[in-house]
Structure 1
Amino acid sequence: MTLGVILAGGLATRMGGGDKGLRLLGDRPLIGHVIDRLAPQCAGLAINANGDADRWRDFGLPVLADDMPDRPGPLAGVLAGMDWAAAQGAQAIVTAAADTPFCPSDLVARLMAHAGPSGLCLAASPDETGRMQRHPTFGLWPVALRHDLRAALAGGLRKIVLWTDRHDGGVAVFDSLPHDPFFNVNTPEDMARATALLDGRA
């Protein structure tokens, strides 16, 4: 069984602060678009976010706070998701970022198909120049590695790819045409582009 965890813990500094995932794209919050795409691919979903969980209540999903001190970044959210999934009897989680409204509808299947020997896999896509870019917040994470991840975080590790490379994580490559499915909304200009994509104008 694979569960999905949407990472919504970013500070949204380039959007003026607050929860990016709750900003409207069309008639839905950004995270709502991610839920619509990820939910059919998983046995269940949760949201990783810190602070008052009540602000996510409209989505009816469990809210998982980081249990590592000093907000060490997305890996802490991955760990929270792995711990939650282990308690549900799941073997793995797939993560997605809350500000990526066009994430792939075959994300889970492709990650599972390209997982490394450890069961880890990250998504990747080519940028505008054709250079391959990994997307560390989109990954397949076996819960059996959660204790190793907790120890790595406690030891100061923060960069996701350093940890996945340590465990020979696989890479699932996604096409960037007609647009990169991992396009994320960081700025008001990005929101304008996302609106155009949603409306079919880009």
Structure 2
Amino acid sequence: MFYEAHSNEHGLRHDPFKALVSPRPIGWIGTLAADGTPNLAPYSFFNAIGDNPKMIMFASDGRKDSVTNVEATGEFSASLASLTLADKMNASSISAPPHIDEFDYAGLTAKPGRLISAPHVGEAFAALECKVVDIFRPKTISGTESGYILVIGQVVGIHIDPHIVTDGKIDMAKAAPLARLGYRDYSHGAETFEMVRPTWEDEA
């Protein structure tokens, strides 16, 4: 089958786009409101940009509390959403008013950062402390602004629980990072396999 994306006439019961661009890591974004209220929300449009310097991004469908908070403070955290915390991650996705502390609602600890004020999930196996370097709305091919707000942060601090480290590497079987698939489906990275990049040998 083929269909033009702008029409979205795929003939299926549900839009397949998100299922095709998967798995997507979950950015469990922690922020602090201007009045000091902690905020926690999972974003499936999230990823690393590069590692020198270390930068990550998340995209919000419209202006939500996370975006409002990072605009005000210039900081956010990204905690590792693992299989062991799946239910609590889901609980923190509730669309709550700005004065609600999702850390408290989900039964999680809002642990203060070392280099930033924004809290991260104390129970998470790992967390990144970030400072905002850019916030913007990507443009469409017609030149108009999209409804998404892209937040880019530079990682300034990294927390890792030694429990998930084996032989000097993050042990995915222990970390079991959650990923969003399509629809209401999730997966985790506990089952992995290794491949070594081939080396080009010039036989000339």
Question: TM-score by structure 1 length?
Answer: 0.28
Q: Going by fraction, where is helix more abundant, 1 or 2?
A: 1
Pick the structure with greater CA Rg: 2
Question: TM-score by structure 2 length?
Answer: 0.28
Q: Going by fraction, where is strand more abundant, 1 or 2?
A: 2
